[in-house]
Amino acid sequence: MAKNHYLQLIVFNNCLNLILDYLKDNKEALFSCLLVNRLFCQHVIPYLWSSPFELETNPNKHKLILRTYISCLCEEEKQQLINFQIENESLSTPRDYPKYLEIFNNQHIQDAVEKFTSTEEKVERTDMKNKKRKIRKLLCKIITNLLINRTKGFTCVEIISSSSDLNSIDIDYTIFPRLSQALSRLQVFEFSGVFSQGICQLFTNFAQHINTIKKLSILLQPQDETLEITQAITKLIKSQTKLTSFTITQYWDNHPCSKIYSAIDSHSNYLNHLRIEGLADVEQLLTVLQNCNNLETLQLWEFGEIDNDSLFNLKYPGFRIESIKNLYCDGYSPSHSNLTTVGLFLRICGRNLRMLWLGHVTKELLQDMREYFPHLNYLSLKIYEELLLDLTKSLPSMPLENLILSIIPNFHNYNSFNTTNTALGFTTSSIMKLVKSIPITLRYFGLDFRMNKKDFKFFFENLRVPLNQLAILENSNHDYVLMTVIDYAKRVESLKEFIYDQSYDHTNFSEEMLEEARTVIPKIRVIKRGKSSICKKYFDIQYYEVS
């Protein structure tokens, strides 16, 4: 009987952990589970404290997390804080919460320390500012030491370094003796900011003691390329056993950096996600890509100065990567070299491409999409008004489920045209062609362009596609917009969610109109972006959900 009871308990615990794994990003659900009984509480606490700053989305409550960590300090460290007159209220019999931390982010700690030590004084004397900065640096160092010493092992480390931010506190992480043990389970390392001597040493330390990183991101602010930086980054890349995701900013100027690309190439058999920001070394990247047989996602954000002569020679790369399912190119101007580069990378994708995001396109690129990618499900395009007719010829043949469409004024008017506040001038014929071109398979539609009241109403009156989600990302939030959406929702009876953007327009729909909309549409959300993205699961596109 005792053995059966023991087995039942093991099975129950395993099942409970599977449930909590599913709920790990849902703070409200975890807190509900916390109150069930003692057993649930024991299982839930490690999840809540594995990434407390990420789970608690209200930054004002981060100082409460910090207060809990302070209560876990040893008496000697608490005395240090008392000597600096830092508030130190001990909680009763605290658990060892730091041991559960898995995601370490230095910026979260700095922000929490700043809120914890802030005062209501609007004007501070210089000597008080300097004292407060010393206190913050001490507290950051003590808390960082606590987390490194007590954790069972970080799985993710995020370091942000900024020399331009006067409030930024740089910590030499290599001084902590237990750092290598804390990083023994590390799978994700993300660095962004300015490369300093201390960061260089940290990279070298990582390269010597860690080989478990699977996702590596290095986003450097513009700076002079040095051999020391390149060597530190190269060693870190090569020291890993199996990188599956890699992101880097091309920080070097005007000359290829074969060492970096050689290091990336050493993981070509494992990479399934690759992101390059500020690409200029097209030829070297193509050399690496030729060996990436398992690459599924390729992201290119902005381009550097690309040599037109080398582009001409590389126009037809001579190979395809059949494994690529997601291609993202954005942040670039519509220059000839940039558009040629986009076309080049589009041509290395095979027929398995499912998701495509392009910042600017040409007639030729639209034609390539129609001919070579018959299985696209997700599409985000920014096109000029003059290409609308070509787009309407391409869309009907695509089995799209998700579409974000941005239409901007014609290229020759681009510099003088105010795209933010002016509605595009559609003809009745052009609207009908666009409406009829929308694939019947579409379920999410994001409109990222402005239409006047008459055109907007005409478009939705004639739209027969039964959408599940509709996002209005670039139209004024006047009541006629929502009234038109309500009429459409009543007609198709399929719309489950309406999303609208308040990034550029502070006006909002009237409460009466929103109340009416909620009787027809189950979910209504406001976002401020970054960029709202149907492709959030593919790309790290930032957007902010307000409600």
Instruction: Give the DSSP letter string of 359-371.
Output: SS--HHHHHHHHH
Structure tokens at 316: 């037809």
pLDDT for 542 beyond 60:
no
Q: What is the mean pLDDT of residues 175-184?
A: 87
DSSP H helices, 24-178, are 27-34, 38-48, 52-55, 62-71, 75-83, 106-117, 126-150
In a domain, 41, yes or no: yes
Measured between alpha carbons, how far is residue 47 from residues 55, 349, 360 in Å? 10, 40, 43
Identify the pLDDT of residue 543: 41
In a domain, 504, yes or no: yes
471 touches 499 (CB < 8 A): yes
More confident residue, 23 or 488: 488
251 touches 225 (CB < 8 A): yes
In a domain, 441, yes or no: yes
% of residues, the chain, pLDDT over 70 = 82
The residue whose two tokens read 């398979």 is: 441
Bridge pairing between strands 402-408 and 103-105: unpaired
Q: What is the mean pLDDT of residues 244-268?
A: 84
Identify the pLDDT of residue 307: 67
Measured between alpha carbons, how far is residue 319 from residues 238, 289, 344, 349, 541 in Å? 26, 10, 11, 9, 29
More confident residue, 341 or 251: 341
- CA-to-CA distance for 387 and 366, rounded, in angstroms? 9
CATH number at residue 470: 3.80.10.10
In a domain, 21, yes or no: yes
In a domain, 374, yes or no: yes
pLDDT for 416 beyond 60:
no
- CA-to-CA distance for 265 and 259, rounded, in angstroms? 10
> pLDDT tens digit string along 59-103?
778 888 888 898 888 888 888 777 766 665 555 545 789 999 999
Identify the pLDDT of residue 503: 65
More confident residue, 490 or 259: 490
In a domain, 317, yes or no: no
pTM for the whole thing?
Answer: 0.85
Q: Identify the helix (H) or strand (E) that includes residue 232.
A: helix 227-239
Identify the pLDDT of residue 532: 42
Residues 6+ apart with CB under 8 A from 212: 184, 185, 186, 187, 240, 241
Identify the pLDDT of residue 33: 79
Identify the pLDDT of residue 314: 67
pLDDT for 194 beyond 80:
yes
Residues 6+ apart with CB under 8 A from 165: none
Least confident of 272-286, 431-445, 500-514: 500-514
- CA-to-CA distance for 264 and 203, rounded, in angstroms? 16
Report the domain count for the chain.
Answer: 2
Phi, psi of 444 (to 5 degrees): -120, 130
Structure tokens at 44: 């839930």
Least confident of 164-173, 200-209, 430-439: 164-173
SS3 288: helix
End position of a domain, from candidates 49, 65, 83: 49
Instruction: Give whichever of 10-24, 165-179, 241-255, 380-394 has the largest mean pLDDT.
Output: 380-394
% of residues, the chain, pLDDT over 90 = 42
Residue 495: exposed, middle, or buried by beta-carbon count in 10 A (0-12, 13-18, 19+)?
buried
Bridge pairing between strands 543-545 and 103-105: unpaired
SS3 140: helix
Q: Residue 25 — very low, low, confident or very high, per pLDDT cuts 50/70/90?
A: confident
SS3 57: coil
> pLDDT tens digit string along 339-392?
989 999 998 998 999 999 999 999 999 998 988 898 999 999 999 888 999 999
In a domain, 75, yes or no: no
pLDDT for 229 beyond 50:
yes
DSSP H helices, 386-493, are 388-394, 428-437, 453-462, 479-492
366 touches 405 (CB < 8 A): no
Residue 412: exposed, middle, or buried by beta-carbon count in 10 A (0-12, 13-18, 19+)?
exposed
- CA-to-CA distance for 539 and 533, rounded, in angstroms? 9
pLDDT for 104 beyond 60:
yes
Identify the pLDDT of residue 434: 94
Structure tokens at 446: 């994001």
- CA-to-CA distance for 117 and 122, rounded, in angstroms? 14
Q: Residue 220 — very low, low, confident or very high, per pLDDT cuts 50/70/90?
A: confident
pLDDT for 134 beyond 70:
yes
- CA-to-CA distance for 425 and 40, rounded, in angstroms? 60
In a domain, 236, yes or no: no
430 touches 457 (CB < 8 A): no
pLDDT for 137 beyond 50:
yes
More confident residue, 464 or 195: 464
Q: What is the mean pLDDT of residues 113-117?
A: 85
Residues 6+ apart with CB under 8 A from 535: 326, 328, 355, 357, 378, 380, 402, 541
Structure tokens at 45: 């606490």
Residue 497: exposed, middle, or buried by beta-carbon count in 10 A (0-12, 13-18, 19+)?
middle
pLDDT for 27 beyond 90:
no
**How far is C-alpha 53 from the geometric centre of its chain's CA atoms?**
17
Least confident of 40-44, 116-120, 210-214: 116-120
Domain, as residue range, for 34 = 1-49
**How far is C-alpha 416 from the geometric centre of its chain's CA atoms?**
32
